[in-house]
Structure 1
Amino acid sequence: MDQDNTKIIPTSCIHNCGGRCLLKAHVKEGILIQLTTDDSPDTDQFPQARACLKGRAQRQRLYDPDRLKYPMKRVGERGEGRFNRISWDEAFDTITGQMQRIKQMYGNEAIHLLYGTGVYGQISQSWITPDMGGALPRFLHMFGGYLGYYNTYSSACFSYSAPYTYGVAEGNSPDDLVNAKLIVLFAENMAETRMGGAGAAYYLKLAKDKGAKIVVVDPRYSDTASALADEWIPIRPTTDNALIDAMAYVMLTETLHDQTFLDTYCLGFDEEHMPPGIPAGHSYRSYLFGLSDDKIVKTPEWAERITGIPRDSIVRLARQIGRTKPACLLQGLGWQRHAYGEQPVRALPVLAAMTGSLGKKGGGPGLRLGGHKVPMGWVPAGTNPVKASISCYMWPEAILRGKEMTAADGVQGAAGLATDIKMIWSYASNILINQHSDCNGTARILQDESKCEFILVHDVVMTPSAKFADILLPDVTHFEREDITTYSSGIGYAIYHQKVVEPMYECKDIYTITSELANRLGFGNQFTEGKTEQDWLRECVKAAQDKDPRFPAFEDFRRQGIYKAAPPEPVIAYEQQIADPVHHPFQTPSGKIEIFSPRLWEKNNAREVPAVPKYISAWEGPDSPLTAKYPLQCIGYHCKQRVHSTFDNIPWMEEAGKQEVWISPGDAEERGIMNGEQVKVFNDRGAMIIAAKVTPRIMPGVAAIPQGAWWSPDSQGIDRRGNINTITKYHPTPLAKGNPQHTNLVQIEKA
């Protein structure tokens, strides 16, 4: 406590940027007056978990004058945002009444917990998967279950596809980057998307300081490229596989590959190492040399026409990768949020295998970075009695035609769905309208009350999604509750975020809400077991101590706020498999790296789900006939001013990065557009008015809009904030059933 009676209380920033950081709340007379961050010694072994601009702006969220203050019920049409204040008793009665009605009429499968990542924590987690716990899934499981989801909006194609190659997706930890001689980043912008002090960009800088060369392949000259890269190679969106194919062709023809590694560890690279029973011409090498069905040799000249990258640049990069040992090839998540996003996820590991650097320090498997983990317990959730689940991206389809959906539509755990979705529970999520494809189309689905009959939303402010609620509950911020969160990085760490102020207005946390609902539904004692939030957190810490004897006692952890675990060595993905393939095979059916996947071959969909990774022309790609009408490819990049849609209502963040569409000087001149002018970005799905940023930092023929802006349609339906989902298409990817929200053709004209 300071001399002026100001308490300094450890807490955290808990949003889904890919990092978690320590915050220190300066509280005087019950008011949060200032936030500082990790000020422990900043060393290579223990870098500070130092908050970025967003973490330092958290006070603006806590004291936002537009905070939701009390429960409300809708009185206008869905989406209008017209509500009346009600009591908590009425809110609880309405929710339990609707849940019981829907359960009785349709069954628990009609209730869907919507994907969302606005809250992290061992009690209050809003992103729910079977290996996690928390208050909300615990409550719903005790009620009889709900229609679950798999995948994430961030990483659907990555998380679904990578296991077809490796069995389990792993990555070297960030602290291994210092061992690389060459680092090539494909659609990876870690310096802007994960800005916290202990993030991966810190280790990328250490690698550069040690002499590593860094190359960034991206349609945008990102902050990572401008701050750390030795070379930027711009590429047309959706064409990355053509680049990879051409580089593999160069490495083969110039004998820059490690054939011994491929022979030892890989299935299907060449015809001599194919599974039995597969006709000739289906290996990856045959595909490269035009011996497969398409009869196209994947030369650099071929790739230049598709990607827009000059032939000489393709050859030079291929030679760098082939000749530099060790080379680390890393993929971000941007390129897999495309029409055929499954393909580059599986293609880059082929290059990694060709280098022979896989399973070694400074190399890697061509996937994403892994990390050192700190074990932590959860509030136990039990098992969902409803076995069926859908891709998190396909909930609008399950509203419209759930009873028709089968395994062919990505239904897992059951042959099909027994009912359409009739209730959506949206907690700490702006997926309901803002972050989902095609805002206009999604709004039309939600406005039909005969389809989804009840929508429950709780959030801290009136987001675009909140406007579609039937019952709207005021949530607390993480400053108004207690929880624990963990993070994997070059070090692993856990943060205890204390409650620093009392809940404002009539706001209630998720544990309080679910406890009260459980009481009304008759299983309150079973749900709480008589435990407070802190009682549960003590059990979480006990679980951590059981797995890590160094983990501090609960009171010490709560007081110090953060526990950092210094790893003795970097994590090297698949190190055991490479060192001893007999006793440690890969977790694939063959025990090898499956460049050719028999499981994908059996799907019998060679056009969209090939057994080896291939370039597939996208349905709104650069060679689509639709370019005659809409000639620009438009992508939505992650920006420094927001975490997805969080912080879009904070004015400070607009100073860090404006909401504007990037357009190249040539494309702007062709349209008579000057920097800073208002322009219209549009296609058949919708239109927006937004300021133009005319810049050579974007590839010609490509436009880029920061994703996450709050959808704000005017009376004509034209979005006035610049939400990219005004123009994105609902079109699940063929294998993962993921979101392709960077696959868009648009036109831009002066407004």
Structure 2
Amino acid sequence: MSFSNEKLALLQDSLNINRRDFLKTSAAAGAAVSLGLKPEPAKAFAYEPYPRDDELETVVTSCAHNCGSRHMLVAHKKGDVIVRLSSDDGRYQQGGAFGKDTFEEPQLRACLRGRSYRSRLYSAERLLYPMIRVGARGEGKFKRASWDEALGMVAQRMEELKAKYGPTALLDQSYAGASYGVLHKSDQIEGLLGRFLGMYGCRTNSWSVPSYQATTFSSRTTFGTIEDGNEDDTFAHSKLIIMWGWNPAYTFHGGNTFYYMRMAKQKGCKFVVIDPQHTDSASSYDAWWIPIRPNTDAAMMAGMAYYIFANNLQDQQFINRFVQGMDPGTMPHWAHGQESFKDYISGRSDGVAKTPEWAADICGVPAKDIIKLAHMYATTKPAALKASWAPGRNAYGEQYNRMAAALQAMTGNIGKLGGCAEGVGKAWHAEGIAYPYDEFANVWYASIKSDRWAHCVLNYPNVKREEIGLWPRNDERDGVPPNIRGIFWQGSDWFNQLTNINKEIAAIKKLDMVVCMDSTITPSGLWADVLLPIATHFERHDVALPWYKGHYYIHRPKVIEPLGESKTDLQVFTELAYRLGFGERFNPKANRNYFHHNDAVDESYLREWWVNKVMHHQHVTMPWEEFKKRGVYKFKLPRPHVAFQDNIEKGVAWSTPSGKIEIFSSTLAQTKDWTKTQYGYYIPAIPKWIEPWESLNSPKTQKFPFHMITPHPRWRTHSIFHNIPWLRETYTQEITLNASDAKRLGIKTGDTLEVWNDRGGIVLPAFTTERCMPGVVIVYEGAWMDLDEDGWDRAGNPDFLTLDEPSPAGGFAYNTILVNLRKATNGRTHRPGWDKQKTARSHVFRRDY
């Protein structure tokens, strides 16, 4: 063994030893090798030896969040501690074996977010005890309290607010962030909080879903249902897949999306991406990238429709049989003479032909590319136009979704294998509720658009019903704005996630009670009065559902006992219900002791759900005990699940007033007073291009020249997992801008920028690239807010810049944002999170004030 002088010098420097000692050591090592001595096995550990697999118990469970799928996790535990997590390897389902992974029964493999969950379970921000605020609201100062003290305080304030302000005083802001299962369910539509407040008789509901409300409106208006999605295996049969505003590398709608799309690619399927940025999905599929100005998608689609009509490429036979209002010949008799979709596209009704050239001036896509794409889509069969939710998260986003549905219908790609009708994309139907139905479940006394609560609080009582999306009622409360005095957040970090956060901050200071129920200390929790520690899905018994796509159930046993003094949502609501006088009605299988011993009751609910709903309704023969033993049940469908296939092949009517696909909406056309609907403002009966409040075509660009979009990141689920070090190492919260814009402004990658508009300001580093079109900037949503003394958000949460104005159909304008930017001044710095110095702010919650 010999070393050059150069190598010796490097080793000396790195090991901090002199040459003589090094040569002695080298000689000894050489002698040992020459004598044939074997090295001893290493026995040194930085901490206790890591357990071997044969020392660990293996338990099948699942992910828990609304990330676009909900897949298997396998917990490997020693005693009552989860040591590591793995995922599906094929052996767990009936007839399974290690490595099994088939087209009909693919493995339900978790992504990096799910696999990192141990870091969230045991994070420094884990909420372990009830806490009561002692400082100013938002200051983040709390003291530890007993459950009796915390629930006593909540129950007392609920009674006071209901008596003083009436049945609309408490706002329900639950969501599917942390507790989504068939029993322990946090959900805006059918969750436990709505059941609890409805039975109590004091509830203002939040009716609009932030992710896809414009899409929900479009699907229900057009098809009469949100179950308009195919299962993802149908992608494997497509010859053309258009990913419109969809980046399945980050936000897959169904966990095996990539598996099936890769199959389509191998069969020669062509891919197109329409997006302001060149996404990882565009790279993965070698897709034709068409950059488009944000919030102009409906105009480009109208230009495509013009080309298809002008060249007689529409599927007229399909239109004549199944579609209402596509052209004058398919208009209903009662609407004779009213505007059809073709009348609008051709310009016959308004004098403006929606030509590709007209569209190009609006959306920035060359007319020749609009023509090329329209021709590809109309002449390739079957073709899947996947109209994702993101372009619908805009002002008038419902028009984009409805325009996409018109294209899907006019090309005859609905109800056919390899085609696509997707807006919402909900596919196979799961049996989703294990607790019993009650006549008071989901009862509300007022219902408003989710992100207009702050506007309602700040302007009460001088607020018009259309300003807050007030849902109509058939009683004396119709049109009366709710007097909101308290908020419940359950499985919801909405204070961090809804539009116009500075407006929320002003409103929350006026409230009398804010309760946050979560397993983690979140930014929303910092603004609460009471924090209630909720057990994670590892610490309670439940069953996981697929997330809008997928056909399976995953058993979720109680893997470990709840950490600290955590309780399940159902335990908390049951105990509160007993304190308020309706405990037996709320949880009919339990008694007051449920707060301390819940296992037998939960098992009874879940077993009953499996037998009465899954086995009876879905014809599953596997007994409950076997399902628990295996951990997963994967359905084998008799044919690929294609939305509306029976409508096309068997003549089943759509659930619309006409029984057809309604491009011309019967309901919208016959609405007289829009102020007395939940929408508040006029919505045309056919899809149309409507200029948004803010865009690159707006004169507002003189003051705010950049259009910001706020996509979903792959390293978080909204704000969930933001505090996980593993995931934070993969990405820095930053603002992406085009290299030419950066050069013009003297900005380089890594520079700290201030980004602002009339609503607020954020601070974050720059990333310059050619993968983003000029004039557009990108900031991923979900960063945990962190305000400086001037109210600027140092974490880079884009919702300090969003506008909370109501888009007519209830959509959220997360991507309708004009901003300006500059290099940071006044010493402003970016703080990427609460653990920048590898220390957590959780010590604030452990102090005794």
Say whether the fold is shared (TM-score over 0.5): yes
**1:333-368: per-residue Cα shift (whole Å, max 9, x none)?**
101110001101111111112212222211122535
Maintained 8 Å contact 2:65/2:176? yes
1:540 alignment partner AA? W
The alpha carbon displacement at 1:99 in A equals 1.0
Q: Does residue 110 of the first structure (1) align with residue 160 of the second (2)?
A: no
Q: Does residue 128 of the first structure (1) align with residue 188 of the second (2)?
A: yes
SS of corresponding position for 1:112: strand
Q: Does residue 742 of the first structure (1) align with residue 804 of the second (2)?
A: no
Query: How far apart, CA to CA, are the structure 2 residues paired with 1:318 and 1:608?
Result: 30
**1:227-252: per-residue Cα shift (whole Å, max 9, x none)?**
12421111111100111111111112
Q: Does residue 549 of the first structure (1) align with residue 619 of the second (2)?
A: yes
Alignment of 1:610-629 (within 5 A): 610-629=684-703
1:363 counterpart residue number: 419
The alpha carbon displacement at 1:491 in A equals 4.3
Q: Which moved more, 1:343-352 or 1:263-272?
A: 263-272
Query: How far apart, CA to CA, are the structure 1 residues paired with 2:671 and 2:706?
Result: 34
Q: Does residue 78 of the first structure (1) align with residue 78 of the second (2)?
A: no
Query: How far apart, CA to CA, are the structure 2 residues paired with 1:256 and 1:664?
Result: 37
Q: Aligned in 2, Cα 1:267/1:139: closer, same or farther, shift over 3 Å? A: closer
SS of corresponding position for 2:544: strand
Maintained 8 Å contact 2:393/2:812? yes
The alpha carbon displacement at 1:281 in A equals 6.7
**1:711-741: per-residue Cα shift (whole Å, max 9, x none)?**
111111111111010111111111x223111
Q: Does residue 341 of the first structure (1) align with residue 400 of the second (2)?
A: no
Q: Does residue 635 of the first structure (1) align with residue 703 of the second (2)?
A: no
Query: How far apart, CA to CA, are the structure 2 residues paired with 1:3 and 1:257?
Result: 60
Q: Does residue 303 of the first structure (1) align with residue 359 of the second (2)?
A: yes
**1:66-103: per-residue Cα shift (whole Å, max 9, x none)?**
22222121122211111122221110110110111112
Q: Aligned in 2, Cα 1:85/1:370: closer, same or farther, shift over 3 Å? A: closer
Q: Which moved more, 1:436-445 or 1:589-598?
A: 589-598
Unaligned runs of 5+ residues in structure 1 are none
Q: Aligned in 2, Cα 1:276/1:508: closer, same or farther, shift over 3 Å? A: same
Q: Aligned in 2, Cα 1:287/1:364: closer, same or farther, shift over 3 Å? A: same
2:25 counterpart residue number: none
1:565 counterpart residue number: 635
The alpha carbon displacement at 1:645 in A equals 0.3
Query: How far apart, CA to CA, are the structure 1 residues paired with 2:701 and 2:499?
Result: 20
Q: Aligned in 2, Cα 1:115/1:742: closer, same or farther, shift over 3 Å? A: farther
Q: Does residue 697 of the first structure (1) align with residue 775 of the second (2)?
A: no
Maintained 8 Å contact 2:487/2:515? yes
1:265 counterpart residue number: 322
**1:153-175: per-residue Cα shift (whole Å, max 9, x none)?**
11111112222112223122211
Choose the corresponding residue for 1:601, options 639, 654, 669: 669
Alignment of 1:401-416 (within 5 A): 401=459, 404-406=463-465, 409-414=468-473, 415-416=478-479
Maintained 8 Å contact 1:22/1:561? no
Maintained 8 Å contact 2:403/2:688? yes
Q: Aligned in 2, Cα 1:409/1:659: closer, same or farther, shift over 3 Å? A: closer
Choose the corresponding residue for 2:77, options 1, 12, 27: 27
1:238 counterpart residue number: 295
Query: How far apart, CA to CA, are the structure 2 residues paired with 1:701 and 1:522?
Result: 58
2:47 counterpart residue number: none
Query: How far apart, CA to CA, are the structure 2 residues paired with 1:632 and 1:188?
Result: 22
**Greater CA radius of gyration, 1 or 2?**
2
1:536 alignment partner AA? Y
Q: Aligned in 2, Cα 1:201/1:688: closer, same or farther, shift over 3 Å? A: same
Q: What is the CA RMSD across the aligned residues, in angstroms?
A: 2.2
SS of corresponding position for 1:637: coil
1:144 counterpart residue number: 201
1:178 alignment partner AA? A
2:42 counterpart residue number: none
2:450 counterpart residue number: 392
Maintained 8 Å contact 2:394/2:812? yes
Q: Does residue 587 of the first structure (1) align with residue 655 of the second (2)?
A: yes
1:363 alignment partner AA? G
Q: Aligned in 2, Cα 1:549/1:575: closer, same or farther, shift over 3 Å? A: closer
Choose the corresponding residue for 1:101, options 150, 160, 168: 160
1:640 alignment partner AA? R
2:482 alignment partner AA? T
2:116 counterpart residue number: 57
2:45 counterpart residue number: none
The alpha carbon displacement at 1:145 in A equals 4.7
Maintained 8 Å contact 1:174/1:369? no
Q: Does residue 535 of the first structure (1) align with residue 535 of the second (2)?
A: no
Maintained 8 Å contact 1:340/1:608? no
TM-score by structure 2 length?
A: 0.84
Query: How far apart, CA to CA, are the structure 2 residues paired with 1:727 and 1:516?
Result: 40
Query: How far apart, CA to CA, are the structure 2 residues paired with 1:447 and 1:238?
Result: 34
The alpha carbon displacement at 1:3 in A equals 6.9
Query: How far apart, CA to CA, are the structure 2 residues paired with 1:178 and 1:97?
Result: 57
Query: How far apart, CA to CA, are the structure 2 residues paired with 1:417 and 1:518?
Result: 27
Q: Aligned in 2, Cα 1:402/1:152: closer, same or farther, shift over 3 Å? A: farther
1:460 counterpart residue number: 519
2:500 counterpart residue number: 438
TM-score by structure 1 length?
A: 0.94
The alpha carbon displacement at 1:488 in A equals 5.5
Query: How far apart, CA to CA, are the structure 1 residues paired with 2:753 and 2:175?
Result: 31
Maintained 8 Å contact 1:13/1:55? yes
Q: Aligned in 2, Cα 1:65/1:257: closer, same or farther, shift over 3 Å? A: same
Query: How far apart, CA to CA, are the structure 2 residues paired with 1:311 and 1:186?
Result: 17
Maintained 8 Å contact 2:273/2:289? yes
The alpha carbon displacement at 1:277 in A equals 5.5
SS of corresponding position for 2:250: helix
1:438 alignment partner AA? N
Maintained 8 Å contact 1:685/1:727? yes
2:387 alignment partner AA? Q
Choose the corresponding residue for 1:480, options 539, 542, 550: 539
2:187 alignment partner AA? W
Query: How far apart, CA to CA, are the structure 2 residues paired with 1:208 and 1:225?
Result: 12
2:806 alignment partner AA? P
SS of corresponding position for 1:358: coil
1:124 alignment partner AA? H
Size of the aligned set, in residue pairs, is 739
Percent identity (aligned): 38
Maintained 8 Å contact 1:338/1:741? yes
1:659 counterpart residue number: 733
**1:314-347: per-residue Cα shift (whole Å, max 9, x none)?**
1110110111111111111101110001101111
Query: How far apart, CA to CA, are the structure 2 residues paired with 1:103 and 1:405?
Result: 23
1:313 counterpart residue number: 369
2:579 counterpart residue number: 520
Maintained 8 Å contact 1:35/1:59? yes
The alpha carbon displacement at 1:640 in A equals 0.7
1:163 counterpart residue number: 220
**1:127-186: per-residue Cα shift (whole Å, max 9, x none)?**
131xx354x344333322522232311111111222211222312221111221111111
Q: Aligned in 2, Cα 1:308/1:575: closer, same or farther, shift over 3 Å? A: same
Q: Aligned in 2, Cα 1:585/1:407: closer, same or farther, shift over 3 Å? A: farther
Query: How far apart, CA to CA, are the structure 1 residues paired with 2:304 and 2:298?
Result: 10
Query: How far apart, CA to CA, are the structure 2 residues paired with 1:81 and 1:473?
Result: 15
SS of corresponding position for 2:378: helix
SS of corresponding position for 1:462: coil
Q: Aligned in 2, Cα 1:408/1:83: closer, same or farther, shift over 3 Å? A: closer
Q: Aligned in 2, Cα 1:490/1:77: closer, same or farther, shift over 3 Å? A: closer
SS of corresponding position for 1:183: strand
The alpha carbon displacement at 1:370 in A equals 4.0
Maintained 8 Å contact 1:217/1:233? yes
Q: Which moved more, 1:278-287 or 1:477-486?
A: 278-287
